[in-house]
Amino acid sequence: RNMTVQDIANVLKKDVDHVLKALEFADKTSDTNYTKKTIIYNPQIIRDVVKISGFRFKLVPNPDQEIEEEENKDAVPAPPAAPEALRPRPPVVCVMGHVDHGKTTLLDALRDTSVVDQEFGGITQHIGAFEVQLSSGEKVTFLDTPGHAAFTAMRSRGAHATDVVVLVVAADDGVMEQTVESIRMAREANVPILVAINKMDKPGVNIERILRALAQHGVVCEAVGGDVQAIPVSALKKQNLDTLVEALTLQAQLMDLKADPGGFVEGVVIEAQLDPRTGKQATVLVQRGTLRKGCVIVAGSGWAKVRMLNSAEGRPVLEAPPSTPVAVLGWRELPAAGDTVLEVASEKRASEVLKWRHNQRMKEKQELDRAAIEAKEAAHR
Ligand code: GDP
Ligand code: MG
């Protein structure tokens, strides 16, 4: 790694003169005549230059002196809402279960029956999540990437997007390896399970056998004296899906799921991509506040001034209250799936946050580089 003074300036996004000035302080003892082309071999000097010029915006005269931490400019979630501001919100549901037990079929069937706005003949988009509305007006939000991947991706980023796991168990196959794995994952995440016993249209199914097997793995359904709801369905024949959705709304009531629809928006990015038609697009699941056109949001290394919100039916929506997934347009930089979404007061504030986050990432990268250099040195000694 032959870093020139210019390279350091580029990495730090600093003027090269600024870095040369920092070098004067960092390397007081030698009489090297630094220019922007000088290659710096001494990692200690690189470290000091980084320390002096990297994260501070003005030079400090003495590099040995402890430098004050830069003020934290990051966006942070608002404190918990006052109880009187909380309103019930729909549950956010993730479908899990053994391969071929019917997760995809179930999600497709639910999406077909969903169409919140029947008249709007829009084309259903896969935006990573969709809502199902009952005739009573109650809604359930489904994350539509089935299986472990979505669940773990969200979890690994510390995003607690899922309220309930629908465990799909094929009636003709019963509890299998990935069924047990799904149970374990839901347990670890402390997310309650609702069982959908699928493929009920098949002849000769034995529900009792399945309920007993589930109980052996700690999922004790109501029919065998527990408190887990088990709903027999046929995803293929679209049978009993309403009952499943109703059971989910009941589960939501039991859990007393609430959020503050006012104040700054908080949420999580479900997926993000460059859409060939719409450009930079990311699906945001709103968890707090109400997302509207004109909101300025930051998420990871991305940010947007919301230009348009679209539902999973490809329909423009004016606002997205808690538990609503919407495809957001207006991103200047795309975020990544799992990133936390936070509304900020202005575009100016967004760029300040992004800059701060960029510097933090640089800092982390430099820490890693530094550790690598030190490890290399140690190996040579
Ligand atoms: P996944 O791997 O869990 O996503 O399962 P799929 O949704 O891909 O379904 C696997 C197979 O089971 C497909 O051939 C489906 O048509 C079939 N299947 C799904 N649901 C049902 C159902 O309710 N009844 C019947 N008979 N077959 C189903
Ligand atoms: Mg599938």
Q: Over the stretch 219-278, which tens digit does the pLDDT of each residue have?
A: 999 999 999 999 999 999 999 999 999 999 999 999 999 999 999 999 999 999 998 888
Distance 295 CA to ligand 1 centre (A): 41
pLDDT at position 121, please? Answer: 56
Of 119 and 311, more confident: 311
Q: 34, 23 in Cβ contact below 8 A?
A: yes
The rounded mean pLDDT for the chain is 86
Q: Which long-range contacts (CB under 8 A, 24 or more apart) does 67-72 make?
A: 70/359, 72/356
Distance 236 CA to ligand 1 centre (A): 7
Distance 97 CA to ligand 2 centre (A): 10
Nearest CA to ligand 1 atom 22: 199
Residue to substitute in 94, 95, 96, 100 for testing ligand 1 pocket (most ligand atoms within 8 angstroms of CB):
100
**Distance, CA of 98 to CA of 337 (rounded, Å):** 24
Q: Does ligand 1 lie within 6 Å of residue 44's CB atom?
A: no
Q: 252, 91 in Cβ contact below 8 A?
A: yes
Q: How confident is the model at residue 67 (pLDDT cuts 50, 70, 90)?
A: very low
Distance 367 CA to ligand 1 centre (A): 49
- Of 29-38, 205-214, 326-335, the range with the lowest mean pLDDT is 29-38
Q: Does ligand 1 lie within 6 Å of residue 364's CB atom?
A: no
Q: How far is CA 255 from CA 92, 258, 262, in A?
A: 12, 9, 21
Of 295 and 37, more confident: 295
Minimum-distance ligand to the CA of 173? 1
Q: Does ligand 1 lie within 6 Å of residue 234's CB atom?
A: yes
Distance 291 CA to ligand 1 centre (A): 36
Give me the percent of the chain exceeding a pLDDT of 70. Answer: 86
Tens of pLDDT, residue by residue over 169-196, are 999 999 999 999 999 989 988 899 999 9
What's the ipTM?
0.99
Residue type, 89: R
Q: 167, 193 in Cβ contact below 8 A?
A: yes
Helix residue ranges per DSSP H, the chain: 5-12, 16-26, 43-49, 103-114, 148-156, 177-188, 207-216, 241-255, 347-380
Most confident of 15-29, 34-48, 274-288: 274-288
pLDDT at position 88, please? Answer: 94
Tens of pLDDT, residue by residue over 341-366, are 999 999 999 999 999 999 888 888 88
Minimum-distance ligand to the CA of 97? 1
Distance 221 CA to ligand 1 centre (A): 23
Q: How confident is the model at residue 313 (pLDDT cuts 50, 70, 90)?
A: confident
Decide if pLDDT at 20 tops 80.
yes
Decide if pLDDT at 118 tops 60.
no
Considering only the C-alpha atoms of the chain, give the largest distance between any 2 of them, rounded to a whole number of Å. Answer: 89
Nearest CA to ligand 1 atom 26: 199
pLDDT at position 59, please? Answer: 41
pLDDT at position 46, please? Answer: 81
Minimum-distance ligand to the CA of 169? 1
Q: Which residue has the tokens 């960092």?
A: 26
Tens of pLDDT, residue by residue over 84-105, are 999 999 999 999 999 999 999 9
Strand partners, 42: none
Q: Does ligand 1 lie within 6 Å of residue 198's CB atom?
A: yes
pLDDT at position 147, please? Answer: 59
Ligand 1 atom having least distance to the Cα of 168:
3
Measured between its terminal Cα atoms, the distance across the chain in Å is 18
- Ligand 2 ion local residues (Cβ < 5 A): 103-104
Q: 168, 96 in Cβ contact below 8 A?
A: yes
Minimum-distance ligand to the CA of 168? 1
Decide if pLDDT at 160 tops 90.
no
Q: Does ligand 1 lie within 6 Å of residue 95's CB atom?
A: no
**Distance, CA of 9 to CA of 19 (rounded, Å):** 6
Write down the number of H helices and E strands in the chain. Answer: 9, 18
**3-state secondary structure (DSSP) of residue 82:** coil
Most confident of 11-15, 131-135, 165-169: 165-169
Decide if pLDDT at 19 tops 70.
yes
pTM: 0.78
Q: How confident is the model at residue 27 (pLDDT cuts 50, 70, 90)?
A: confident
- Of 32-36, 113-117, 265-269, 377-381, the range with the lowest mean pLDDT is 113-117
Distance 96 CA to ligand 2 centre (A): 10
Query: Once rounded to an integer, what is the mean pLDDT over residues 35-64?
Result: 68
Q: How confident is the model at residue 54 (pLDDT cuts 50, 70, 90)?
A: low
**Distance, CA of 380 to CA of 370 (rounded, Å):** 15
Would you give the DSSP letter of residue 239? B
Nearest CA to ligand 1 atom 25: 199
